Structure 1
Amino acid sequence: MSVVLITGAGSGFGALTARTLAAAGHTVYASMRDVAARNADRARSLLDWARENSADLRVVELDTGDEASAAAAVKTVVAEQGRLDVLVNNAGMLVIGPTEAFTPEQVAHCFDVNVIGHLRVNRAVLPRMREQGGGLVVYVGSVTSEITSPFQGPYVAAKAAEDRLAETTFYENSAFGIDCVIVQPGAYTSGTDHFAGARHPEDTERAAVYSGLRERVEALASSLDSLALPGARTDVEEVAERIRDVIAMEPGTRPARVVVDPQHHGAQEVNAVRAERQRTMLRRMGMEDVTSVRDPGRA
């Protein structure tokens, strides 16, 4: 069994993944910010569940916006367990609205949460994984990094950046035995706080220009729900279960990306084409050695 650190584990995919992995026998550190204040109830809920289910699930303070906080959380895990096997970079946020109407500060914050926060945590985790001779970093990405949706511009851009950051970091660390898998969920409009907690444009004057599209923006969640394929699972638990399954796989056998998408946006097909071109380009660059953990072209 593995020692796992999950970011953004107070709710949604993070909390579900924490419970799923702990139920499977892993030692799980569910991290969130403001454990003693704003998120005290969420932390208590996880700890109560762990006690009732005899699971090894612990809560640790970690603010992905603070590099010192990330370092302190990793230090706590290693001090208690002697190692850190798996990092699940899950923390994220959604924005909905016309792209132009988001202020530059809002867009920067979206990138900070969805991209730079992962970099901060990676900077704390990767040295430890290199020291111990390997590990696994799982990213909760999005199919929107491959298939663009309107009215989610800053989010779509940030998730695409997260995906490329993850892939590049893998190439640079594969020789150290550190694996990487990007899990790409489709749209889950219920079962998480993702849509309910989405941020909206602060520049209301610019947003008003798009008033003719207001109904489309407001109906975004329901329109995505209607795209679910017949017989497809639409419960968010499937995402946590796929992360569990990825962790159980042997190093060198894990896929680069795992799509969990009841709407079937088409990310699988895009991934397959990208993977082939990536293989070709790495070969031409003479960098096949960066793929020592597994073939990065495997989609």
Structure 2
Amino acid sequence: MADDLPAAIGPYPVLRRLGHGGMAEVLLARSLGASGFERLVAIKRPLPAFAGDGELERLLIAEARVGARIAHRNLVAVHGLGLHEGTYYVVMDYVEGADLDTLRRRHAAVPALVVHLVAEVLLGLHHLHALPDDAGRPLGLVHRDVSPSNVLVSRGGEVKLADYGIAKATYLAGDTQANVRRGKYAYMSPEQVAGRPLDGRSDQFGVGVMLVELLTGRRPFDGQGDGPAAVLDRIRRAEPPDLSALPPALIPVAERCLRAQPEERHPDALAMREALLDAMPAAARLGPPEVAAWEAVAIEPEGDASGRPRTSTVRTTADEPD
């Protein structure tokens, strides 16, 4: 794929490819300005084979529109939407570091640090869920794809939720059925699997799955040798998972956000965050320095001779579920 790396996308000189999913890729590029000003940005665009794909273009446009409203330390900012040789692309923050899925596979975090990481994601989700339209009405946005691969951790210890390509405003008309099954299947809520209307409590279910995975190394609804259909069926039936491997103080918090009915979960993302920090007070004393130290250990084997990571990860809308 290196042979088809463009010299530039629109006005942005391209430096290298950061990663790709099934239908889209993310490139590292420079944004240039007057008097030698420059900054690094990430550019998401369809893979050449999918250029002109109407559905993918719609997702990119949706991601840009949602991202344009976002200004929060725990959410990746979107800076613009462009058109290059007839293909849309999105310009967004470049987060130098790695995604949480990569990091947890290389070096497990202690429970207090896991709770801190999840608490940061919940702050970002609360902001996303509360975003208003131009008239001040809540947009009712639901992320729909909360998972470790969509959580980016910078080298400085910042935690940012990415990928708004399938976020959807609940009050807007649209093709709900086309969106409802997007996202990584193992993190979907029962109502998402069933195609029912969603609100922010659906994202809370995905956070619960992620919390269990980060603490135990295993997703709560996975079975030995199960494929997607079996996992989805188990989620649809909402069988209470075995959470006995979790730290005892965290079991009630995880159990509540994994309940079948949204109204039985925590009232909102902030309430879940408060419950987590109450259950593990040590997490409230952690911050970017501790996250950065953990990430440095996790990512060190992948660094180059200068100590910098070989790649900095920004996930794409079309990443395949694992």
TM-score by length of 1: 0.29
The structure with the greater share of residues assigned to helix is 1
Tell me: higher relative CO, structure 1 or 2? Use CA pairs within 8 A at least 6 residues apart.
Answer: 2
The structure with the greater share of residues assigned to strand is 2
